[in-house]
Amino acid sequence: AYVRGFDNAEGIRLENAEQILVRNNKIYNSSNDNRTWNASAVKTYKTKHVTIEHNEMFDVVSGVMEKEASSYMTIRNNRIYDCRYGFVLSNQNGGVTEAVKFHNNIVQCNSGFETVSQGSAEMRDVHVYNNTFAGYTSQGANANRHGQAFYIYNNIFHRTSSSVSNADFYTQTGDTGQVKLMDYNLYSRNPKMV
């Protein structure tokens, strides 16, 4: 799928949907004029019980972008590469994003797992596990200031450069209490946490 747009551009867009399965797709060449994460292979808004699995996503700005107030999402067994962001977990307009599982993915992007939210928009019960994050130049994974209950475990963080602009794992200074578990991860270099 080739998709190009000024701002929002996606190969597959799910909005106000429930019980959706996105499986066995090859999604590529999705971009926008500003190369922001609004250009994605798959984008969700206010969805419930969505599974995204066994897809190949490449030559995109973002592999998967959860934009607003989705719950019970599972993103697993995907290969995401040649991108700026592997998975962007976002929230806006005061909503709640919760019960997200990102696991068993191979992610080779500038940033593997990215979170961002506006104002009081919350994120909770987010599990990032059994992934391989390789070749990132920004960060392997991060959590943000509006998050609650992040669990990051059993991942492989492999970076080829000794310097990464942010870190293997990055969180807002002083907000580490949101990370409830960060253990059993394997690092190819001395871990860099910020």
Q: What are phi and psi of 176, to 5 degrees?
A: -75, -10
Contact 76, 100 (CB under 8 A): no
pLDDT above 80 (res 113) = yes
Asked if the model's pLDDT at residue 191 lies above 50, the reply is yes
Confidence of residue 94 (pLDDT cuts 50, 70, 90): confident
Cβ distance 26 to 12 under 8 Å? no
Q: What pLDDT band is residue 2 in, cutting at 50, 70 and 90? A: very low
Of 112-116, 142-146, 148-152, which gets the smallest average pLDDT?
Answer: 142-146
The verdict on pTM exceeding 0.85 is: yes
Give pLDDT, residue 164: 65
DSSP letters spanning 57-112: EEEEEEEEEEEES-EEEEEES-EEEEEEEEEEEEE-TT-EEEEEEEES-EEESSEE
Q: For 157-177, write each residue's pLDDT tens digit.
A: 998 777 666 678 777 656 677
pLDDT at residue 145, as a whole number: 64
Whether 5 has a pLDDT exceeding 70, the answer reads no
Asked whether residue 53 carries a pLDDT value surpassing 80, the answer given is yes
Question: Which carries the bigger pLDDT value, residue 57 or residue 172?
Answer: 57
- Mean pLDDT within 109-117: 87
Beta-carbon count within 10 A of 72 CB: 16
Checking if the pLDDT of 73 tops 90, the result is yes
User: What mean pLDDT value characterizes the chain?
Assistant: 86
Share of the chain above pLDDT 70, in %: 87
Which pairs count as long-range contacts for 117-120, CB under 8 Å and 24+ apart, including other chains? 117/90, 117/91, 117/92, 117/144, 117/145, 117/146, 117/147, 118/91, 118/92, 118/93, 119/92, 119/94, 119/146, 120/94, 120/146
